[in-house]
Amino acid sequence: MKQILCLIAAFLMIVACKKEIQQTKAPIPERTAEKSVKQLKEELLANGFEIFDYIDQKTNDTILMQQYFVAFLKSGPNRTQSDEEAAKLQEAHLAHLGRMYDLGYADISGPFGDDGDIRGITIYNVPTLDMADSLANADPMVKAGRLIIEMHPWWAAKGFSLR
């Protein structure tokens, strides 16, 4: 009997959580028609981005290249924080990176899988090195000296995704 009551309670909790998640989800915007390469080029140039394009020899498609900025997050000089302080900084660091993604300033972030000097990367989708550097240096881990930033311009085809 006790097992049945536990199962019923677990089921009700799952249903309640599922409803709450569905109610708090942001509406998914309808997909609009994709922009032409010309429209995308004009928009990027108007917003200050550096771009170039070329013709793919296999497909005859125009490939639009955009300059992004890769921030290498490296071990900083101040790594002496207590475990509690380091955990708080990590939480603030992840919140900062989440904001950068939500605001459209960063397209991808993540740590490396080893314990080397370079701890992770963030790819910034902003028009200038100064803007990328400013956003990266606003990270609480960087402000605390636990991480330092090494920034590099990087070119990638617009609209291509990871596989």
pLDDT tens track for 4-26: 444 454 444 554 544 444 444 44
Least Cα distance to 66 among 132, 162, 160, 163 occurs for 160
The answer as to whether 11 is a domain residue is no
* Model confidence pLDDT, tens digit, residues 63-117: 999 999 999 999 999 999 999 999 999 999 999 999 999 999 999 999 999 989 9
Per-residue buried b or exposed e for 124-147, using 16+ beta carbons within 10 Å of the residue's own CB: bbbbeeeebbebbeebbbbebebb
In a domain, 7, yes or no: no
Residue-wise DSSP of 91-125: HHHHHHHHHHHHTTSEEEEEE-SS-SSEEEEEEE-
Q: How far apart are CA 128 and CA 121, in angstroms?
A: 17
Q: What pLDDT was estimated at residue 20?
A: 45
Q: Which range has the worst mean pLDDT, 15-24, 30-39, 46-55, 109-118?
A: 15-24
Mean pLDDT of the chain: 86
Residue 62, pLDDT > 60, answer: yes
Alpha-helical segments (H) within 25-161: 37-46, 83-102, 129-137, 140-143
Residue 137 belongs to what domain range?
37-157
Is residue 13 included in any domain, yes or no?
Answer: no
Domain count, the chain: 1
Q: How far is 123 from 91, CA to CA, in rounded Å?
A: 20
What secondary structure letter does DSSP report for 159? T
* Residue 120 lies inside a defined structural domain of this protein: yes
Residue of 130, 105, 112, 42 whose CA lies nearest to 73: 112
111 part of a folded domain: yes
Tell me whether residue 61 is in a domain. yes
Residue 98 sits in a domain whose CATH number is: 3.30.70.1060
Residue 3 lies in a domain: no
Beta-carbon contacts of 107 under 8 Å, excluding residues fewer than 6 positions away, are 68, 101, 123, 124, 125
- Report if residue 26 sits inside a domain: no
Mean local confidence (pLDDT), 138-146: 97
